[in-house]
Amino acid sequence: MKLVIGGATGFVGKELLKRALACPEITSIVTLDRRALVVEDLNKEKLTSIVLDDFEHYPTSVMEKIGNADACIWTVAVALTKSMSTPFPETKKVTYDYTVAGIKALSESNKTENPLRFIYFSGAAVDRDLTKEPVFMPEYSKLRAGVEIDLIEFAANSRGAVKVTCVRPGYIKGNRGSGYVEPQLPPGVPTVILEVCVAAVLKQCVEGIEMDPILNDDLERIGKEAMPKYYAAQ
């Protein structure tokens, strides 16, 4: 199968790529990033890395490389913490506009009869009911909800050509490099281990989407069941 990863240079994206390269069922991987990707994996011969300067426009050469993908994992967004210091128009562009352009390009480039599985990384606090006023960072929260709503609508209007799920992890625990200290989280904030989250998401790509949305508890359950398969080759 062919997998596209939007955002393979980040904390989650790197682990997704590493495990996808090790998965024998995934035979072709295309990554879309804004900076060059460094890969040392022995299976990198099945990888095509694309540096995309403008995630709103896909040249013909890029459309050809992402064409006929079976699945896409999309992690491109301005993270919650970074949004606090990023002008909102830029946050919206990266988080919303890039995502919508991405799913459209992938859908248009799929000339097969198989539906595209699009897995979108969202957040635990997202609520698609826009009549509710979010307690924390309402503008950002509504933006993320709007992305989910429009992705689901896009899939509904695709006549079965696209299937979407939005994964909503809480705080993802894992090794972010030397010197990083895990923060003290407020009570009630859900957490998930990076490897468990990645196993759950890869299962959606390879074996089919199970539900939407996939909440943190779902990621825990699905990921723990999938770990023996997607982390068998260490």
* Bridge partners (DSSP) listed for residue 2: 28
What does pLDDT average to over the chain?
A: 94
Q: Is 127 exposed, middle or buried (0-12, 13-18, 19+ CB in 10 A)?
A: middle
Residue labelled with tokens 């995630």: 55
Residues contacting 176, CB < 8 A, separation 6+: 11
Q: Where do the domains of the chain lie? A: 2-230
Contact 84, 139 (CB under 8 A): no
Beta strand pairing call for 162-168 and 214-215: parallel
Q: Whole-angstrom Cα distance, residue 3 to residue 13?
A: 13
- How much is the average pLDDT of 144-161? 97
- pTM reported for the whole predicted model: 0.95
CB 190 within 8 A of CB 171: yes
Distances (CA, A) of 115 to 3, 93, 162: 13, 27, 5
- Tell me: the pLDDT tens digits for 66-94? 999 999 999 999 998 899 999 999 999 99
Q: CA-CA distance, 56 to 102, in Å (whole number)?
A: 7
Classify residue 172 by burial, with Cβ atoms within 10 Å: 0-12, 13-18, 19+: buried
Q: Which amino acid is at 197?
A: C
The CATH T-level fold of domain 2-230 is Rossmann fold (3.40.50)
Examine residue 169 and say whether the peptide bond preceding it is cis (omega within 30 degrees of 0): no
Question: Angle, to 10 degrees, between the axis of helix 194-207 and the axis of helix 216-230?
Answer: 80
Rounded to an integer, the average pLDDT of 26-43 is: 87
CA dihedral 39, 44, 45, 47 (to 10 degrees): -80
Name, in order, each residue with C-beta under 8 angstroms of 153's C-beta and a sequence gap of 6 or more.
none
SS (H, E, C) 85-124: CCCHHHHHHHHHHHHHHHHHHHHHCCCCCCCEEEEEECCC
What are the C-alpha distances in Å from 142 to residues 19, 73, 148, 231?
Answer: 32, 22, 10, 35
What single letter denotes the amino acid at residue 10? G
pLDDT of the residue at 182: 78
Mean pLDDT of 150-168: 98
Q: What is the pLDDT of residue 41?
A: 67
User: Among 22-31, 122-131, 176-185, 199-208, where is mean pLDDT lowest?
Assistant: 176-185
